[in-house]
């Protein structure tokens, strides 16, 4: 996204993994990271970021904490990452219940989608097929793009670089990881366009 637009990432995960990555990485000019976030100021931080950049991505812990509910209240799209295990499916279910509770309290439905991660680009396991089928049967929106199991996605944090800055000599199939990330970014933008009028867009990661 930061290739063509200004992006702010608000790292609201208590472990601050993105902020730690950003301290050692050479960030693109269009990318800013905000980490001084808590329950008392997250709404202000989102508002400030949205006034400065067209895309605001909030990385959250996957619980029903107050800070998550506050961030969701400002979201145009919630992305729920999920690996292909029953445990992850149950955690994704809890995140969806938080969204439904928010809808009941506010009368506002927040668009969301489940993102299947660390999937095989070659083999579709029976477990993954079963879980994905269950989501579809339950009417849960699932992103068409899956983030595959790629060394490059781990190397981002190991080398503290963006995908584009990684060396293909150090990371196998780097080009495929970049294409995979591009496909997901495009789908996120398309969903944002479908869900609201052109304006500042805020995507939250639950």
CATH code for residues 7-205: 3.40.50.300
* CA distances in angstroms from 77 to 85, 95, 154, 174, 206, listed in the order given: 24, 13, 25, 28, 10
User: What does pTM read for this prediction?
Assistant: 0.87
- Which pLDDT score is estimated for 25? 87
Instruction: Give pLDDT tens digits for 137-186.
Output: 888 999 999 999 999 999 999 999 999 999 999 999 999 999 999 999 99
- Which pLDDT score is estimated for 6? 96
Q: How confident is the model at residue 198 (pLDDT cuts 50, 70, 90)?
A: very low
Instruction: Give pLDDT tens digits for 6-42.
Output: 999 999 998 899 999 999 888 989 999 999 999 999 9
- Which pLDDT score is estimated for 199? 47
- Which pLDDT score is estimated for 64? 60
CA angle 179, 145, 51 (to 5 degrees): 80
Sole residue written with tokens 């097929």: 129
CB 95 within 8 A of CB 113: no
Instruction: Give pLDDT tens digits for 72-130.
Output: 999 999 999 999 887 888 888 888 988 988 898 889 899 999 999 999 988 877 777 88
């Amino acid at each position: 996204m930061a290739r063509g637009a200004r992006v702010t990432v608000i790292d609201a995960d208590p472990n601050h993994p993105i902020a730690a990555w950003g301290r050692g990485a050479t960030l693109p000019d269009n990318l800013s990271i905000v980490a001084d976030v808590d329950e008392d100021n997250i709404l202000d931080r989102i508002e400030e970021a949205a006034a400065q950049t067209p895309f605001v991505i909030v990385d959250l812990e996957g619980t029903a904490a107050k800070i998550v509910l506050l961030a969701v209240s400002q979201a145009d799209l919630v992305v729920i990452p999920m690996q292909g295990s029953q445990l992850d499916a149950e955690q994704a279910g809890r995140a969806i219940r938080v969204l439904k509770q928010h809808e009941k309290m506010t009368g506002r439905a927040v668009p969301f989608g489940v993102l299947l991660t660390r999937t095989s680009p070659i083999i579709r396991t029976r477990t993954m097929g079963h879980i994905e089928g269950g989501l579809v049967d339950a009417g849960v929106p699932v992103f068409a793009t899956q983030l595959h199991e790629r060394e490059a996605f781990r190397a981002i944090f190991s080398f503290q670089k963006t995908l584009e800055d990684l060396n293909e000599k150090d990371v196998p199939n780097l080009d495929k990881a970049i294409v995979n990330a591009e496909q997901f970014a495009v789908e996120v933008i398309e969903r944002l366009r479908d869900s609201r009028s052109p304006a500042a867009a805020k995507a939250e990661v639950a």
